[in-house]
Amino acid sequence: MNDKLTLKNISKNYKDKEVLHSINLEFEHGLYGLLGPNGAGKTTLLNIMVGILEKSCGTIEWNGNDIFHNPEEYRSGIGFLPQHLDFYHNFTGEQFLEYMSKLKEVDSTEVNRVLNVMNLESVRFKKISSYSGGMKQRLGIAQAILGSPKLLVLDEPTVGLDLEERAHFKKYLKELSNESIVILSTHIVSDVEEVSDYVIFLKNGQIQKQIANDQLSHLEELYLSVQEEEC
Ligand SMILES: Nc1ncnc2c1ncn2[C@@H]1O[C@H](COP(=O)(O)OP(=O)(O)OP(=O)(O)O)[C@@H](O)[C@H]1O
């Protein structure tokens, strides 16, 4: 059975300011790009989806069941790269991933796999404090993909990656999305064109448009036109 994530009427207020307005979305296996300018509400929406931020209204269902009833089970199937991930800088990359694999209760062989996928084998025994920004970002992605999660949520994952790393990473996500729901937020159009099955445009806390792969040509122009629509 294909997994299904459903967001129904999700709204979020920070004090008296509503930053998400009644979001309705459905996700099944595939790669989804969440595209929007800074401040659109992407991080807020993703944090609500993974259960680290409380929504003000609405429901989230996993395979038809409100996640509120069994949040631990829901969270155990999620891989998440937050916008800002803090590390234990005294750990080596390998130690960090071993630690995360224990927390996530995934097989320790996964550590080798994700080090390989994210091209971090040559620095696995080096302390994280010596990593470049791009290496830290790849390590963050590596912990998110431990155990090939059913739901992978990545907040601005391509920050700090060079062109070759981006291409390699997107190819891997495409493969994973054959069996998982992969949601990637970005404000960079090229991150989501070519690979995404669907692109969701978010602006001012509202879904402006949702388009499928076969309509993805001229995405940049579409993105600009969507941004101008409300002006
Ligand atoms: N903790 C908070 N308290 C008050 N307002 C917040 C808080 N976090 C976010 N906001 C506001 O909510 C809105 C959406 O922010 P959010 O970070 O979700 O957007 P974003 O699309 O992820 O942008 P960015 O790419 O810049 O992170 C913005 O207006 C932001 O200022």
How close is the Cα of 103 to the center of ligand 1, in Å? 29
How close is the Cα of 40 to the center of ligand 1, in Å? 7
Ligand 1 is surrounded, with C-beta below 6 A, by: 14, 19, 36, 38-44, 83, 187
Q: What is the pLDDT of residue 17?
A: 93
Residues 136 and 192 in one domain: no
How close is the Cα of 130 to the center of ligand 1, in Å? 30
pLDDT above 90 coverage of the chain, percent: 68
Which domain does 36 fall in, by range? 1-77+150-231
Q: What is the pLDDT of residue 231?
A: 41
Residues 161 and 70 in one domain: yes
Which atom of ligand 1 lies closest to the CA of 83?
Answer: 27
Alpha carbon 181 to chain centroid, angstroms: 10
Residues 98 and 112 in one domain: yes
Domain end residue (candidates: 149, 177, 204): 149
Residues 60 and 94 in one domain: no
Residues 58 and 112 in one domain: no
Other CB atoms within 10 A of residue 109 CB: 8
| Pairing between β-strand 57-62 and β-strand 5-14 as defined by DSSP bridges | antiparallel
Residues 71 and 127 in one domain: no
Residues 67 and 159 in one domain: yes
Supply the residue whose CA is at minimum distance from atom 6 of ligand 1.
Answer: 14
How close is the Cα of 117 to the center of ligand 1, in Å? 31
Strand arrangement, sheet containing 206-212: 78-81, 151-155, 181-186, 30-35, 198-203, 206-212
Of 138, 63, 168, 149, nearest to 105 (Cα)? 149
Contacts of residue 30, Cβ cutoff 8 Å, sequence gap at least 6: 177, 181, 182, 197, 198
Banded model confidence at residue 179, pLDDT cuts 50, 70, 90:
very high
Which atom of ligand 1 lies closest to the CA of 14?
Answer: 4
Residues 61 and 119 in one domain: no
Report the phi/psi class of residue 222: left, alpha or beta, with left for phi > 0 and alpha for psi in -120 to 50: alpha
Of 12, 144, 25, nearest to 80 (Cα)? 144
Supply the residue whose CA is at minimum distance from atom 2 of ligand 1.
Answer: 14
Q: What is the pLDDT of residue 228?
A: 67
Q: What is the pLDDT of residue 206?
A: 93
Of 155, 94, 102, nearest to 126 (Cα)? 94
**Which whole number is the average pLDDT over 132-146?**
94
Residues 30 and 60 in one domain: yes
The whole-model pTM stands at 0.92
The size of the chain, in residues, is 231
**How many folded domains does the chain comprise?**
2
Instruction: Convert the pLDDT of each residue in 73-125 to its tens digit.
Output: 898 899 999 998 888 889 999 999 999 999 999 998 999 999 999 999 999 99
How close is the Cα of 37 to the center of ligand 1, in Å? 11
Cα Rg, the chain, nearest whole Å: 18
pLDDT above 70 coverage of the chain, percent: 96
Q: What is the pLDDT of residue 146?
A: 96
**Which whole number is the average pLDDT over 148-158?**
94
ipTM for this prediction: 0.96
How close is the Cα of 38 to the center of ligand 1, in Å? 8
Residues 136 and 190 in one domain: no
Asked if 9 and 57 count as a contact pair (C-beta separation under 8 A), the reply is: yes
Q: What is the pLDDT of residue 229?
A: 62
Spatial separation of the C-alpha atoms in residues 173 and 178, rounded to whole Å: 9
Asked if 181 and 150 count as a contact pair (C-beta separation under 8 A), the reply is: yes
Residues 69 and 156 in one domain: yes
Q: Is the pLDDT of residue 211 over 70?
A: yes
Q: What is the pLDDT of residue 18?
A: 94
Best residue for ligand 1 mutational test, from 13, 16, 34, 44 (most atoms within 8 Å of Cβ): 44
Of 205, 208, 169, nearest to 41 (Cα)? 205
Domain end residue (candidates: 125, 149, 173): 149
Q: What is the pLDDT of residue 214?
A: 72
Phi, psi for 25 (deg, rounded to 5):
-145, 150
Instruction: Enumerate the β-bridge partners of residue 59.
Output: 8
Residues 140 and 174 in one domain: no
Best residue for ligand 1 mutational test, from 17, 19, 47 (most atoms within 8 Å of Cβ): 19
Domain end residue (candidates: 132, 149, 166): 149
Structure tokens at 1: 């059975």
